[in-house]
Amino acid sequence: MRLASMRYKDYVWPHNPRVYTIEYKRTMGARKVPFGRYHLQDLGPAQRVMRGEGEFVGEGAYGEFKKLATVFYAGGPGLLVHPVWQTSNAYFVELSLRQEPRADYVGYSFAFWEGYDGHSTGVQVTGGGGEPETGPAAGTAGERRHTVRQGETLWGIARDYGLSLTELIALNPQIKNPNLILAGEEVRLA
């Protein structure tokens, strides 16, 4: 079975990295109590860390690494689309180069940290001004809207409805700052 290429922001890997790992972490608090005992408190999951290793080979191998490094230096979160992992909003936090003394080979490793965007499991859509309904298919046939809830982001809303962030922003020119949406605000979906 041939897998799709891995992508991050506008960069598409020419071939998928050789090794992938995902680290799931949980933050725990330990508090000392009398008589040499302790109490553990589960503080919840920490960020998911996605790591990988790969090579660029052939003429232009170093040029391909420079393209990847350019994406790293751009900063900020982006959409990480992986052929096996779940698509996630992630930060590109590590990039390492392992180069043999050859112009046609570059080995590299990377790490992404998944950003928590506060999405919820249920989706609310208002039809024609009535009570909110749940589910991405709810709403009127012509124009569908979503009422923003506390902690939601445009990226999370776009993902829930199968839209790209660019499409959702284009449908909502009234939103001047896509990084700032408020609970109760209506977002047009179609």
Q: What is the pLDDT of residues 103-129, one digit of tens each?
A: 889 999 999 998 865 433 333 334 444
**pLDDT band, very low/low/confident/very high, at 166 (cuts 50, 70, 90):** confident
Residue 134 clears pLDDT 80, i.e. is over it? no
Q: Which tokens in the block code for residue 174?
A: 């009234």
Residue 21 clears pLDDT 60, i.e. is over it? yes
Query: What would the mean pLDDT of 24-44 be, rounded to a whole number?
Result: 86
- Cα(72)–Cα(92) distance, integer angstroms: 6
Residue 51 clears pLDDT 90, i.e. is over it? yes
Tokens 């949980």 -> residue: 26
pTM for this structure?
0.57
The larger pLDDT score, comparing residue 133 to residue 153, is at 153
